[in-house]
């Protein structure tokens, strides 16, 4: 049974409003300086200020994206947050008028930086671009994100391999230390929404401790980090079941780096509001597309003379204008247009999936929609890393 919550917010109201619920699934609106974000929402990843192979016009008009993610670590290394600020901020720099969320760089230190040395004051590492020595503190991360001008920003956190308890405990404790520093740098009336990040690997007690510590500090929103980094799907979903009931109901919840169609459903079912993932554009670059029945590899010779669109139920410009045969031709010919056309479809597919989920919550039939979707969709087996 769906519960509809009426009333429009005033300027003095909190930035997140729940509009309807269906079980633990929520439909809401997140208010930002660059517009409203209907939730639950999927954010395409624009790590370097660009969603790979797509223009901002395509993201707005052809795909309907309402939020994109950019990365403070990458933009700090190149072209530099100072330059972006001089150019009018990231929105102006990349000609994107809608909301932007920036990741703090914690995951990239974990996955990309060479010879990283981490202490309670920050991280020292070698740039993956040129090998130069870089120091990133919690204060640096906040200053970088302030210069970029994102609408939603993240505390610097330490990510670790999820099933090595001693390392996970150290990372969890350090994440809390850094969260306090980040929160002290963030004025209560700041229009940028600062999210604390829950860590703790796959361990119930560490996740509970992390939530308790972050709740005590207090944030406008909360992210769940340290997932989609090698654990199983069952472990990931178990962490969500442990963590989400402990977070403030009235605050938005963001599951970082997760975006398969089935995981979007399962995350929403447990109360997640925001998702991001490189999945749709990465699949496109490898010749694969998402459909309501699962993934298709368009490199397959079976599609050589297939006149049908990727999906008869899809209204994206790629499906309206091009056949599987043509798309396969572009892929095997290594034409760059293939990346664009497949990315349009894949990102559109996930955003429409979220639109349908949001409508199902409002209509009180989310469980029915989820069952129907999962009955037809061939799922992937593992929560392998899909982050950059």
In angstroms, the CA 48 to CA 103 distance is: 11
Torsion of CA 237, 239, 245, 250, to 10 degrees: -80
Q: Who contacts 306 (Cβ-Cβ below 8 Å, separation ≥6)? A: 323, 324, 325, 328
Could you confirm whether 276 is annotated as catalytic?
yes
DSSP code per residue over 12-39: TS-SEEEEEEETTEEEEEEEETTEEEEE
Task: Given the residues 22, 151, 157, 276, select the one marked as catalytic.
Answer: 276
CB neighbours of residue 223 within 10 Å: 26
Residue 290's Cα: distance from chain center in Å?
A: 18
Count of beta carbons in the 10 Å neighbourhood of residue 199? 32
Integer Cα distance of 213 and 281 in angstroms: 36
Scanning the structure block, which residue is given the tokens 């604390």?
Answer: 196
Residue 138 phi/psi, 5-degree rounding, is -60, -40
Q: Is 103 a catalytic residue?
A: yes
Which residue out of 22, 62, 103, 151 is catalytically annotated?
Answer: 103
Nearest to 51 by CA among 229, 224, 277, 253: 277
Of 5, 364, 24, 3, residue with least CA distance to 16: 5
Positions marked catalytic: 103, 276
């Amino acid at each position: 049974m769906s519960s509809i919550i009426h009333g429009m917010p005033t300027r003095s109201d909190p930035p997140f409003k729940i509009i309807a619920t269906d079980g633990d699934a929520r439909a809401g609106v997140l208010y930002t300086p660059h517009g409203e974000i209907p939730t639950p929402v999927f954010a395409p990843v624009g790590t370097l200020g660009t969603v790979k192979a797509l223009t901002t016009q395509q993201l707005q008009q052809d795909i309907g994206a309402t939020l994109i993610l950019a990365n403070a670590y990458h933009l700090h290394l190149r072209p530099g947050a100072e330059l972006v600020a001089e150019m009018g901020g990231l929105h102006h720099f990349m000609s994107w008028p809608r909301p932007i969320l920036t990741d703090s760089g914690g995951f990239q230190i974990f996955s990309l930086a060479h010879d990283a040395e981490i202490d309670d004051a920050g991280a020292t590492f070698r740039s993956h671009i040129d090998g130069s020595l870089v120091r990133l503190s919690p204060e640096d991360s906040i200053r970088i994100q302030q210069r970029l001008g994102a609408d939603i920003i993240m505390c610097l956190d330490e990510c670790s391999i999820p099933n090595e308890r001693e390392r996970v405990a150290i990372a969890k404790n350090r994440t809390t230390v850094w969260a306090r520093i980040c929160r002290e740098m963030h004025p209560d009336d700041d229009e940028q929404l600062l999210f604390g990040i829950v860590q703790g690997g796959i361990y119930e007690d560490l996740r509970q401790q992390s939530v308790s510590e972050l709740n005590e500090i207090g944030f406008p929103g909360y992210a769940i980090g340290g997932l989609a980094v090698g654990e199983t799907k069952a472990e990931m979903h178990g962490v969500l079941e442990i963590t989400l009931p402990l977070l403030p109901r009235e605050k938005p919840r963001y599951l970082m780096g997760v975006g398969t169609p089935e995981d979007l459903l399962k995350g929403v079912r447990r109360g997640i509001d925001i998702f991001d993932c490189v999945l749709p554009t990465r699949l496109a670059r490898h010749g694969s597309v998402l459909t309501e029945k699962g993934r298709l590899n368009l490199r397959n010779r079976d599609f050589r003379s297939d006149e049908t669109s990727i999906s008869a139920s899809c209204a994206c410009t790629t499906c309206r204008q091009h056949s599987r045969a043509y798309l396969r031709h572009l892929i095997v010919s290594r034409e760059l247009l293939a990346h664009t056309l497949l990315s349009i479809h894949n990102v559109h597919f996930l955003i429409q999936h979220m639109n349908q989920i949001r409508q199902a919550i409002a209509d009180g039939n989310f469980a029915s929609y989820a069952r129907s979707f999962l009955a037809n969709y061939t799922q992937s087996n593992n929560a392998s890393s899909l982050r950059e």
